[in-house]
Amino acid sequence: EAQVTQNPRYLITVTGKKLTVTCSQNMNHEYMSWYRQDPGLGLRQIYYSMNVEVTDKGDVPEGYKVSRKEKRNFPLILESPSPNQTSLYFCASSLGQPSPLHFGNGTRLTVT
Amino acid sequence: DQQVKQNSPSLSVQEGRISILNCDYTNSMFDYFLWYKKYPAEGPTFLISISSIKDKNEDGRFTVFLNKSAKHLSLHIVPSQPGDSAVYFCAASARGNQFYFGTGTSLTVIP
């Protein structure tokens, strides 16, 4: 089944403790991206990647890192999480140029 | 600054009637527009898209209209069904790089 898989689905952590949210797609998509969803703000893009080893900042990249070493994986790294990063995170992928995004089921992160 | 806006947070419609969801954008460079549907505890699901060279695109019960001069996008659902109750997001992109999403409209279809 074609899908975007995020792990974990739920994560509670403390301020400053590094964490990684994984994202993997099995559709051979060139384009991958990360979004956060907050009440009243919709979905905001954090980072995106047009291809392997190519990443770019979205609208809200502060406090996040990403890497794209392989086509199928696009992990989101929070080196020192803070409470304002408590949010619902979505990974998405697409064929690119342009085509619809396919989303994972989300990761609910709480930073205390 | 929000480049894609959905000014109606919620909409209620009777089953069988038409649902019209609206979206406005500010960036004239946007050339690709999409609508997504989202249920609780799931990721957004792609519904329909339109490129800026068209003004209408249909897929079954769903039709998207694009008015470039007004920078306005709308999604029509006819007839509306209870299973259509969800949050709908519009999105826009310039050359398929960054995607910008609206804040969503919660649609309730009343049986």
Cβ pair A68, A3 in contact under 8 A: no
For a pLDDT cut of 90, what percent of chain B falls above it? Answer: 92
User: What does the pLDDT read at residue B103?
Assistant: 95
Asked if A56's CB is within 8 angstroms of B97's CB, the reply is: yes
pLDDT(B2) > 90: no
Distance CA B25, CA B40 (A): 26
Asked if A99's CB is within 8 angstroms of B96's CB, the reply is: yes
Token pair belonging to A23: 């994202």
Q: Which candidate from B46, B95, B100 shows the least CB-CB separation from A100?
A: B46
pLDDT(A3) > 80: yes
Cβ pair A111, A63 in contact under 8 A: no
pLDDT(A22) > 90: yes
Q: Does B109 touch chain A (CB under 8 A)?
A: no
Asked if B89's CB is within 8 angstroms of A50's CB, the reply is: no
Asked if B93's CB is within 8 angstroms of A98's CB, the reply is: yes
Asked if A31's CB is within 8 angstroms of B96's CB, the reply is: yes
Count CB pairs under 8 A between chains A and B.
Answer: 63
* Residues of chain B neighbouring A58 (CB-CB closer than 8 A): 98
User: What does the pLDDT read at residue B95?
Assistant: 78
Residues 6+ apart with CB under 8 A from B100: A45, A59, B3, B4, B25, B27, B30, B91, B92, B93
